[in-house]
């Protein structure tokens, strides 16, 4: 969440910035009312604490003189009851304040362009040239169905819409992509491979910003009184490894990667994206997470985005990098780069990776800190996350960009070792 100083000392300014950059209406009146009540209750609580101390000393003095202290003791007991009520009230006010603050998005960095939607995003650069085909281009669904590799009907019988069964060489290609990405990030990009839980508690979802605002987008499981959420991305599990931890300076930057299943309710209609594997309830992703010193987070953001770009370049997939505008970024981010891969069937670029710098926003929610050797103080770390990349969308891009007229698919050279040297699947 945002620094409490912004709510308590610069509320009007913060509200104006959020309105300008995010189109977000900060409930100034609610924050002011809570802060006013908190000050009143806290002042009274301090007054009662002082009064109790004074009366307690008076009891001691009276006892030393052999005087009756029953009236003073009754007064102290009454003060104690009021103090307990005041402390409970303060706790309730703090919870209400935190609940309100937890729904406020991060403030975009000054380098982020203003805008309300994707049309204001700014292209940074492109790599590769889209292939020219001398035959009618098929999309990944038709390519998969033709060979019996991609089966949405069987998946629908098992689980409903927006699930897919992969078979044979297409399933193998999907696995090879994930393996290739993990090996690249661990051996060349310096990320530590981590295998993480797919089920997490509410505290973990709160830490990275999925709760409370986006609960409707999550799948939840309940067994008796045990409630757990299926992760929408392994960012949740990886980032929360530093939840309530004071990280030693020598451990930073901490770079981690994980290949995992991801689950998203994706409520609503998405038109053509519900066809095939573009937008599914269950998908796989290779995630990149960095925990960094504050002064290094922007350089780390560039480094992470570049690591994702290398994946696409080694696969020979044309892409472009987009700097997202203020209104198109995620809730927790101060700056986001999207990588969009070329899909021939749609004759356009589609998102395949999103890399975000969250500054100290998630760290404050998680109480994730580092011991700054310069000051000796514990300060919030900066957290970053990115797709390195979405496995299903990489599969789609490979299928479409490497398709042949006979329905076969040429295997990118970097993936051929996973196929015993074969150069195509058919």
215 is in an annotated binding site: no
Give ∠ CA 321-313-337 in degrees, rounded to 5. 20
* Active-site position among 162, 255, 365, 393: 393
> What six digits make up the tokens of 129?
């040239």
Task: Classify the C-alpha dihedral 5-8-10-11 as positive or negative.
Answer: positive
Closest CA to 50 of 27, 82, 89: 82
CA 200 to chain centre: 14
Is 264 a residue of the active site? yes
235 is in an annotated binding site: yes
Closest CA to 360 of 242, 199, 255, 204: 242
354 is in an annotated binding site: yes
Q: 78 to each of 46, 47, 55, 73, how far by Cα in Å?
A: 15, 14, 11, 9
CA 63 to chain centre: 61
233 is in an annotated binding site: yes
> What six digits make up the tokens of 244?
């309530």
Is 351 a residue of the active site? yes
How much of the chain is in helix, strand and coil states, percent to nearest 5? 45, 20, 35
* Active-site position among 290, 297, 326, 354: 354
Quickly list DSSP for 140-173.
HHHHHHHTT-EEHHHHHHHH-SS--EE-HHHHHH
Q: Quick one: CA torsion of 29, 35, 36, 40, rounded to 10 degrees?
A: 160
> What six digits make up the tokens of 124?
């940074």
234 is in an annotated binding site: yes
290 is in an annotated binding site: no
> What six digits make up the tokens of 177?
């992509």
* Active-site position among 264, 303, 365, 369: 264
351 is in an annotated binding site: yes
Instruction: Give the three-class secondary structure for 201.
Output: coil
353 is in an annotated binding site: yes
411 is in an annotated binding site: no
387 is in an annotated binding site: yes
* Active-site position among 96, 126, 167, 279: 279
* Sequence-separated (6 or more) residues with CB below 8 Å from residue 193: 182, 185, 186, 256, 257, 258
* Active-site position among 35, 82, 296, 351: 351
H or E element at residue 238: helix 235-239
Residues β-bridged to residue 126: 320
240 is in an annotated binding site: no
Q: 64 to each of 54, 57, 67, 68, 72, how far by Cα in Å?
A: 16, 11, 8, 10, 14
* Binding-site annotation, residues for ATP: 264-266, 351-354
Q: Give binding residues for L-serine as ranges.
A: 233-235, 264, 287, 385, 387
Residues with a catalytic annotation lie at 264, 279, 351, 354, 393
| Binding-site residues from annotation | 233-235, 264-266, 287, 351-354, 385, 387
């Amino acid at each position: 969440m945002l620094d409490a100083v912004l709510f308590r000392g610069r509320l009007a300014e913060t509200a104006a910035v959020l309105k300008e950059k995010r189109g977000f209406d900060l409930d100034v009146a609610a924050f002011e009312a809570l802060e006013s009540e908190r000050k009143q209750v806290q002042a009274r609580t301090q007054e009662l604490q002082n009064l109790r101390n004074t009366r307690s000393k008076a009891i001691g003095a009276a006892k030393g003189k052999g005087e009756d202290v029953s009236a003073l003791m009754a007064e102290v007991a009454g003060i104690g009851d009021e103090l307990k009520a005041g402390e409970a009230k303060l706790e309730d006010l703090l919870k209400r304040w935190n609940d309100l603050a937890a729904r406020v998005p991060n403030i975009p960095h000054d380098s982020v362009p203003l805008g309300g939607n994707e049309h204001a995003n700014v292209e940074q650069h492109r790599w590769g040239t889209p292939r020219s085909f001398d035959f009618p281009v098929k999309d990944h669904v038709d390519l998969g169905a033709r060979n019996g590799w991609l089966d949405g009907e069987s998946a629908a019988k098992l689980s409903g819409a927006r699930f897919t069964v992969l078979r044979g060489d297409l399933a193998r290609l999907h696995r090879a992509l994930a393996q290739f990405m993990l090996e690249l990030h661990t051996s060349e990009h310096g990320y530590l491979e981590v295998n993480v839980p797919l089920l997490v508690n509410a505290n973990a979802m709160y830490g990275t910003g999925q709760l409370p605002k986006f609960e409707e987008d999550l799948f939840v499981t309940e067994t008796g009184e045990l409630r757990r959420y299926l992760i929408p991305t392994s960012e949740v599990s990886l980032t929360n490894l530093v939840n309530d931890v004071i990280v030693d300076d020598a451990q930073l930057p901490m770079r981690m990667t994980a290949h995992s299943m991801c689950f998203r309710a994706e409520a609503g209609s998405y038109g053509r994206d519900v066809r095939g594997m573009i937008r599914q309830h269950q998908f796989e992703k290779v995630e990149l997470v960095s925990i960094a010193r504050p002064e290094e987070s922007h350089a780390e953001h560039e480094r992470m985005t570049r690591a994702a770009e290398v994946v696409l370049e080694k696969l020979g997939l044309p892409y472009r990098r987009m700097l997202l505008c203020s209104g198109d970024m995620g809730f927790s981010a101060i700056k986001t780069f999207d990588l969009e891969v070329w899909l021939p069937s749609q004759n356009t670029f589609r998102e395949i990776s999103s890399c975000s710098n969250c500054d100290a926003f998630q760290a404050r929610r998680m109480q994730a800190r580092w011991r700054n050797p310069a000051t000796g103080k514990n300060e919030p770390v900066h957290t970053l996350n990115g797709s390195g990349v979405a496995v299903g969308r990489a599969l789609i891009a490979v299928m479409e960009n490497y398709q042949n007229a006979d329905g076969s698919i040429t295997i990118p050279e970097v993936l051929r070792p996973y196929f015993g040297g074969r150069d195509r699947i058919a």
